[in-house]
Structure 1
Amino acid sequence: MADQKRTDLDWQNVRIFVALARHGSLSAAARMLSVNHATIARRLHSLEESLGDKLVERRPEGYVLTPAGAHALESATDMEQAAHILSRGLTDGVPSGLVRISSSPGLSAGFLISRLPRLAACYPRLDIDLSPALRSISLERHEADIAIRFDKPKDGDVIARPLISVGYGFYGTEAACVSVEAGGEPVFIGFNEADAYLSSAQFLTKHFPRARVAFRAKDQFLQSIAARSGAGLALIPHYIGRADPLLRLCDLGAVPAGIDVFLLMRSRDRKSPSIRVVAEEVVKMFEQEREIFN
């Protein structure tokens, strides 16, 4: 294909390639762009014809980028950002465009959602997309511009900045805590069975193997809401438990060790004013409220 004659690029083809590269499947890209599978496949083929290179390969786990595709994605996302900026008007270096942030559901709902919108209000040309997800995302596939994660990447062209160490405790209503402190058997609110591999879920299984888990929810913010009912104690981060006036800390002895949180971004994005500004502001948010985490 590399020897074929190149033709002019079609921006719609580039948009579809970016969506497929990020999401890894025709169906996900089609849902994102509100088109059908055939359109995705046809426009991808047209872009490959224009560039003279194979950009993706289909594998059992989905579509993966070829080396040429990985290189093309860098330029394609620059085009996407430029198009977004142009649609909002020229900015003369002012932070602008869309910055996509991926974080865990707990951090998203329990901390970031009440703080990040203020940042968007301070920069009228800057848009922020906050996406909660338990799974690790790929910065190299441009699934996000910034990731806030409990795991530090071991490879890739990624900068990892330590943010905070998150401490945990058992939280419940006053009545639920008093019952346990008086000698009653603890009842818990935990993770769904599909998420039993998570460290907090494993801690409960190890230290309270016979205890009843009366209610299960997918993330720790939802667990904190469930704990308000008095149905049980939730093992949740302090930043969530302390922020809820209907819950208090209950001492059951051992608790999980604190977990470090990192801000991750691509090295090349240090040159992006918008991504750099958002990253610095997120770092400040955690620094200013360090006491609620420990």
Structure 2
Amino acid sequence: MPAYLQAMHWDDLQYFLAIARTGQHGRAARLLRVDATTVARRVRRLETEMGARLLEQGRDGQSLTGAGEALLAKAEEMERIAGSVHEASAGGQVAGRLRVSVSEGFGNAFVAPRLAGFASAYPRLAVDLAASSGFLNPSRRETDVAILISRPRRGPLITRKLTDYALGLYATRDYLARHGRPGDAAALGRHMLIGYIPDLIYSPELRYLDEIIPGLEPALRSSSIVAQAQLTAAGAGIAVLPRFMAETNADLVRVLPGRTIMRTFWLVTHSDMRDAPRVRAFADWMVAETAAARALLTGEPL
């Protein structure tokens, strides 16, 4: 190993890895749960120790210089070794820290309520569940595992189908009693619809209303599917919701039950992480959980 790497503390390199993968001080800071000035200061210290610039400022954020690219390869090698040593020191048990990126709705309504069972099975493994309206990028190693609604087509990634899931139109009985039940899709235009903010949709798979009737516009809009579900449960209108969210709420009923939208969740990890025990353990557990909940996810019998 080069002398300059031996002299560096591993935690200093983690700051560099974070900004190399996210491309911005702010995103790296959120990833590491520190402030952006700390990230910038630690990277400047690395540059001083190496006597070379590692990053350069561009219009959209930070990009790696030639020296930065060389250091990234070595730092990622050290990261893999550190992970292997940690797991070996645990006596063959699954140990360390696992970061999982998942959509807000699936993370909150499906993964989180079941995660206690996984944690109990692997007590030496710490888990970060990043459940948000966007996704961390496994190609940049922002996450160990990602559960995505769009299958990635590029990057050093291993992708497998996790499960299909169904979505439908839902409203409360009270809303339908007050406003009437639509008899067909064309009647939806006369109702208060709830959906995504068009310019904040991060994946084309989320354009549900267009799939029912092109050009159908929601009056109440949110970038959050959890907020949309709460609006629907409060009787504000009709929304397209995943079965795994809507069917667990007794106040919600299906509208136009013949209209079902199908989507797929993909389990994705970096190719270098495919054999990591913590990744294999989570992937196997997630596959088993979704298989056991097929009726809830898809409406199909087990």
Q: Please, what TM-score do these two structures have when normalized by structure 2?
A: 0.81
> Could you say which residue in structure 1 is the equivalent of 2:175?
176
Letter in 2 for 1:97: G
Deviation at 1:240, TM superposition (A): 1.1
- Could you tell which deviates more after superposition, 175-184 or 247-256? 175-184
| 8 Å contact from structure 2 (residues 157, 268) kept in 1 | yes
| 8 Å contact from structure 1 (residues 18, 76) kept in 2 | no
CA distance in 1 between partners of 2:276 and 2:3 (Å): 34
2:200 to 195, 202, 217: 195
SS at the partner of 2:181? helix
> Could you say which residue in structure 2 is the equivalent of 1:106?
105
> Could you say which residue in structure 2 is the equivalent of 1:63?
62
| 8 Å contact from structure 2 (residues 160, 268) kept in 1 | yes
SS at the partner of 2:265? strand
What is the percentage of aligned positions where both structures have the same residue? 26
SS at the partner of 2:98? strand
> Could you say which residue in structure 1 is the equivalent of 2:90?
91
Deviation at 1:215, TM superposition (A): 2.4
CA distance in 1 between partners of 2:249 and 2:5 (Å): 59
> Could you say which residue in structure 2 is the equivalent of 1:284?
288
| 8 Å contact from structure 1 (residues 7, 51) kept in 2 | no
> Could you say which residue in structure 2 is the equivalent of 1:34?
34
Letter in 1 for 2:253: R
Letter in 1 for 2:248: A
CA distance in 2 between partners of 1:210 and 1:270 (Å): 42
> Could you say which residue in structure 2 is the equivalent of 1:231?
236
Deviation at 1:81, TM superposition (A): 4.2
CA distance in 2 between partners of 1:147 and 1:56 (Å): 27
- Could you tell which deviates more after superposition, 71-80 or 95-104? 71-80
> Could you say which residue in structure 2 is the equivalent of 1:241?
246
Question: In structure 2, do the counterparts of structure 1 residues 69 and 285 end up closer, same or farther at CA, with 3 Å as the change threshold?
Answer: farther
Deviation at 1:167, TM superposition (A): 1.4
CA distance in 2 between partners of 1:51 and 1:182 (Å): 69
Where do 5+ consecutive residues of structure 2 fail to align? none
> Could you say which residue in structure 1 is the equivalent of 2:131?
132
| 8 Å contact from structure 2 (residues 158, 274) kept in 1 | no
Deviation at 1:237, TM superposition (A): 1.1
- Could you tell which deviates more after superposition, 175-184 or 12-21? 175-184
CA distance in 1 between partners of 2:274 and 2:49 (Å): 30
| 8 Å contact from structure 2 (residues 171, 254) kept in 1 | yes
- Could you tell which deviates more after superposition, 190-199 or 135-144? 190-199
CA distance in 1 between partners of 2:82 and 2:61 (Å): 23
Q: How many residues align?
A: 287
| 8 Å contact from structure 1 (residues 270, 276) kept in 2 | yes
- Could you tell which deviates more after superposition, 275-284 or 23-32? 23-32
Q: Please, what TM-score do these two structures have when normalized by structure 1?
A: 0.83
Q: Which consecutive segments of 4 or more residues in structure 1 shift more than 6 A?
A: 3-7, 209-212
- Could you tell which deviates more after superposition, 236-245 or 48-57? 48-57
Deviation at 1:166, TM superposition (A): 1.7
